[in-house]
């Protein structure tokens, strides 16, 4: 980072002189900063990338995705936030829409293609969801075609839920899809209750406890070490409760939609497997609406946090020469864009990353 900033500052006056000599009608401050940051990134990022690859493939990739997202957010919010370009439904709700869409792609990937998610973030989702891995694996096996409803099926994973039932000391017939016309929600509820409504309530309470421990620790740290005991403790508690309700609602809404689709579909339309595989998609959409519980400034941060994770589900993380070169270009262009805005018009940068970049170049 030190080399990056030093080179950028060294090239800025040179780029500025070059642009002034062209007599072009340009924002010299913006484009000289952009050019110098772009050159500095191309010169320093590849070495940094090689070093980090020895430890963690996803380190530089995650930062690249974050910068891409922030750069796009800055460009769009700076140039297209007008009545002409923004649909009526998006006015004031852009962060909500981005969050819901991001949740959809992340949760669908978590259910069916977990290898597309950064391993560190995948572990966090698994820990936060508090769902037995066998439950999710069974849905994935069903989509892969190695588990199905059939009285004569001898597929590779046909006994998956049977084995899951046995591991929990439950009746193995509950998970036997050769005799069950529909896998009981009781199995998907991890044998907590047969009622989907009761399961949703129990899920909310369990997730709220987990979330409250998480957010209370984070907010207390901020209150003591960052703000130096400045602020109102009651406001801190309210903020913690709101965020805990948000995260608890995230999982609860997922399961409400999941079970609703499985149990309330038209009886003669498609087979049960179709609805079992459709349920996670509806759950992945529903959970995103939990962000409405948070205040608008938090919605912004949450949407900008999740958007890079969702973008990552479309990116091939294999460290091939081609992929690494694309990453270098993407990082350099995004970094240059953000730095140019940070120096020429810092008010256009939103979120903590924007503030950090603005502070870095002052």
DSSP assignments along 94-120, one per residue? HHHHHHHHHHHHHHHHHHH-GGGS-HH
For residues 153 and 274, membership in a common domain is answered with yes
Q: Looking at the structure, do residues 86 and 200 belong to the same domain, yes or no?
A: no
Rounded CA separation 165/272 (Å) = 20
Residue 216 included in any domain: yes
Same domain? For 181 and 246 the reply is: yes
Distance CA 73, CA 291 (A): 19
Please report whether residue 144 resides in a domain: yes
pLDDT for the residue numbered 159: 95
CA-based radius of gyration for the chain = 25
In a domain, 115, yes or no: no
Give the other-Cβ count within 10 Å of 325's Cβ: 12
Tell whether 143 and 269 lie within a shared domain. yes
| Same-domain status, 32 and 171 | no
What CA–CA distance (Å, rounded) separates 164 from 133?
A: 10
**Does residue 70 have a pLDDT over 60?**
yes
* Average pLDDT of the chain, as a whole number: 90
Q: Which of 287, 308, 327 is the last residue of a domain?
A: 287
For residues 282 and 160, membership in a common domain is answered with yes
What is the percent of the chain with per-residue pLDDT over 70, rounded to a whole number?
A: 93
| 285/278 Cα distance (integer angstroms) | 11
Residues 268, 234: Cα–Cα separation, whole Å: 54
pLDDT band at 123 (very low <50, low <70, confident <90, very high): very high
What's the confidence (pLDDT) of residue 81? 56
User: What is the rounded average pLDDT of the residues 218-225?
Assistant: 80
Both structure tokens of 155: 């597929």
Residues 54 and 145 placed together within one structural domain of the fold: no
How far is the CA of 346 from the CAs of 82, 199, 223, in angstroms?
Answer: 20, 47, 26
Same domain for 323 and 198, yes or no, is no
Question: For the residues 43-62, what does the mean pLDDT come to?
Answer: 94
Between CA 358 and CA 339 the distance in angstroms is: 7
Instruction: Establish if 99 belongs to a structural domain.
Output: no
Whether 261 is covered by a domain: the verdict is: yes
Compute the C-alpha angle 119/120/126, nearest 5°.
85
Evaluate whether residue 301 is within a structural domain. no
Please check whether residues 355 and 222 belong to one and the same domain: no
Is there a contact between 315 and 337 (Cβ–Cβ < 8 Å)?
no
Same domain for 189 and 266, yes or no, is yes
Question: Where is the domain boundary, 287, 308, 328?
Answer: 287
Q: Is residue 27 predicted with pLDDT exceeding 70?
A: yes
User: CA 150, CA 355: separation in Å to the nearest integer?
Assistant: 57
The pair of structure tokens assigned to 158 is 């046909």
What domain range includes position 324?
Answer: 2-91+318-361
Which of the four pLDDT bands, split at 50, 70 and 90, describes residue 126? very high
Alpha carbons 204 and 201: distance in angstroms, whole number = 5
Instruction: Tell me which of 182 and 80 has the higher pLDDT.
Output: 182
Q: How many structural domains is the chain composed of? A: 2
The model's pTM is 0.90
User: Among 268, 287, 306, which residue terminates a domain?
Assistant: 287
Residues 330 and 279 in one domain: no
Whether residue 307 lies inside any domain: the answer is no
Query: Is residue 176 a part of any domain in this protein?
Result: yes
- Kindly report the CA angle at 185 between 181 and 191, in degrees rounded to 5? 125
Same domain, 270 and 333: no
How far apart CA 164 and CA 171 sit, in angstroms, is 10
Q: Is the pLDDT of residue 296 over 90?
A: no
Confidence check: pLDDT of 84 > 70: no
Phi-psi region of 120 (alpha: psi -120 to 50; beta: other; left: phi over 0): alpha
Which residues lie closer than 8 Å to 283 by C-beta, 6 or more apart? 107, 253, 254, 255, 257, 258, 261
Residue 174 CB: number of other CB atoms within 10 A? 18
Are the beta carbons of 360 and 5 closer than 8 angstroms?
yes
Q: Which tokens is 294 given?
A: 């948070």
Per DSSP, the three-state class of 141 is helix
């Amino acid at each position: 980072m030190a080399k990056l900033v030093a080179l950028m500052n060294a090239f800025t006056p040179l780029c500025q002189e070059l642009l002034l000599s062209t007599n072009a009608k340009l924002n010299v401050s913006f484009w000289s900063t952009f050019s110098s940051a772009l050159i500095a990134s191309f010169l320093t990022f590849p070495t940094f990338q090689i070093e980090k690859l020895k430890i963690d493939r996803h380190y530089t990739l995650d930062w690249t995705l974050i910068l891409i997202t922030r750069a796009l957010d800055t460009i769009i919010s700076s140039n297209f936030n007008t009545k002409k370009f923004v649909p009526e439904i998006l006015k004031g709700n852009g962060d909500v829409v981005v969050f819901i869409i991001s949740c959809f792609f992340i949760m669908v990937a978590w259910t069916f293609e977990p290898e597309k998610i950064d391993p560190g973030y995948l572990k966090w989702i698994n820990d936060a969801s508090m769902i037995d891995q066998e439950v999710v694996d069974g849905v994935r096996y069903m989509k892969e075609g190695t588990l199905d409803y059939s009285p004569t099926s001898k597929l590779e994973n046909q006994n998956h839920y049977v084995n899951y039932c046995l591991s929990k000391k439950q009746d193995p017939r509950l998970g036997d899809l050769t005799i069950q016309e529909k896998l009981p929600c009781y199995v998907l509820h991890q044998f907590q209750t047969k009622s989907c409504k009761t399961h949703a309530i129990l899920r909310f309470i369990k997730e709220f406890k987990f979330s409250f421990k998480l957010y209370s620790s984070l907010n207390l740290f901020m209150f003591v070490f960052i703000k130096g005991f400045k602020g109102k403790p009651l406001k801190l508690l309210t903020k913690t409760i709101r965020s805990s309700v948000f995260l608890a609602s995230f999982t609860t809404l997922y399961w409400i939609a999941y079970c609703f689709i499985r149990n309330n579909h038209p009886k003669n339309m498609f087979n049960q497997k179709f609805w079992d595989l459709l349920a996670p998609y509806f759950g992945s959409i529903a959970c995103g609406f939990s962000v409405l519980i948070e205040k608008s400034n938090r919605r912004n941060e949450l949407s900008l946090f999740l958007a890079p994770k969702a973008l990552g589900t479309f990116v091939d993380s294999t460290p091939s020469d081609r992929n690494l070169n694309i990453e270098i270009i993407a990082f350099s262009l995004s970094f240059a864009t953000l730095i140019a805005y940070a120096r020429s018009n810092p008010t256009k940068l939103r979120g903590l990353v924007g503030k950090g970049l603005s502070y870095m170049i002052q």
